[in-house]
Amino acid sequence: MSQGADVRVRPKETEHEIDEKGYFVRQKNRFTTPFGDGEGRLPVEAGRYRLIWAKGCHWSNRASIVRELLGLEEAISINLVGRGQHEQNLGWEFIYDENNTDPVLGVQFLSELYANSDPNYQGRPTVPAVIDITTKQVVNNDYVWLTNYLENEFAPFHKEGAPDLYPALLRAEIDKYNDFLFDNVNNGVYKAMFGQSIEAYNDAFEHLYAALDSIEERLETNRFLFGDYVTDSDVRLFVTLARFDTYYFKNLGPIRNRIVDFNNIWGYARDLYEIPAFKNNTYLRDLAKSNGNKDTIFIDYNTRFWNQIDYEGLWSQPHNRKEKSSDPENKFKIV
């Protein structure tokens, strides 16, 4: 195992990101320099960057989906991290690689790359993390805008016929809707799960389900959030939906509805799951795997059944979403 000051114990959200009223206040992203041309921006170059993500982290999952949708596999390399077994929680680790070491970056823990970038960094080392291979430093962990950089600034490296996930005429509306999704859904589930007062929990819970109700209504007439074609917003919503019934439910308390109980949302989620880039980057069984205690009388649902449920079969059930589109055979607007 890597040794030294650069391997750090992961800070706990419930100790460092809770306000005086018990509300979860997510830490700010540390590395937010944008990609693009001009002074003070990260150069857009093929082969220079490596995207680090984790199966369980929806913030990073959306970047891995967009990377594949746009055909950026050759331009941006990728690797997965997970949780290793240690006496202390040492955060994201390259557990899928030989010797638990990234073969390109030569490190075992993501925290080492954060320390390379900022030796005084005290926050959680988070994914997605974009690493500059030439310096082995984290240069961007800004999940808020990362997919937009892939869609816009990295356009010169898109595959031929890549989908337009961030159309210029809709960008202001997409940005506004993404803010809504972040506050009420993407981060909303965490505000409920990490809330340390009943006031904080109830507030987050009510906003989460109010948002899901509004989305259910929106999808009554729209195949996707912005009509006939998949956009950046659909990626952001999907990654939370994929985790709701498989994992989040057990930490949300007495849930009002599962995703499968929303007729439009559930059909919409399956419609997206049919797309290879969504399916290839969504590890449903891994999400559901539990580390629960099997020695107690009552064993949690995921510990009992995670390996017996046909997630692929559930998510591949037929749906009627095509009928809501004026271009039913196409899910993407092509650039």
Mean pLDDT by 10 residues, the chain (335 residues): 64 82 81 92 97 97 98 98 84 96 97 93 92 97 96 98 98 98 97 94 97 98 98 98 96 94 98 98 94 80 92 97 98 92
- Out of 130, 157, 184, a domain closes at 157
Tokens of 163: 């989908």
Radius of gyration of the chain (CA): 20
* Burial tier of 299 (Cβ tally within 10 Å: 0-12, 13-18, 19+): middle
pTM, entire model? 0.94
Q: Which helix (H) or strand (E) holds 129?
A: strand 129-132
- Out of 122, 157, 192, a domain closes at 157
What pLDDT does residue 6 have?
Answer: 67
CB 256 within 8 A of CB 211: no
Q: Is residue 223 part of a domain?
A: yes
Cβ contacts of residue 91 below 8 Å, gap of 6+? Answer: 8, 9, 10, 109, 110, 111, 124, 125
Which residue segment(s) compose the domain that 198 sits in?
168-324
Asked if 84 and 122 sit in the same domain, the reply is: yes
Find, among 334, 214, 217, 224, the residue nearest to 274 by Cα.
224
Asked if 102 and 241 sit in the same domain, the reply is: no
Kindly list the catalytic residues: 57, 190
> How many domains does the chain divide into?
2
Q: Give the whole-angstrom CA distance, residue 55 versus residue 243.
A: 10
Phi, psi (degrees; rounded to nearest 5) at 77: -75, 170
What pLDDT does residue 190 have?
Answer: 95
Asked if 261 and 134 sit in the same domain, the reply is: no
Find, among 133, 136, 135, 155, the residue nearest to 69 by Cα.
155
Q: Is residue 2 part of a domain?
A: no
Q: Is residue 4 part of a domain?
A: no
The count of other CB atoms within 10 Å of the CB of residue 291 is 10
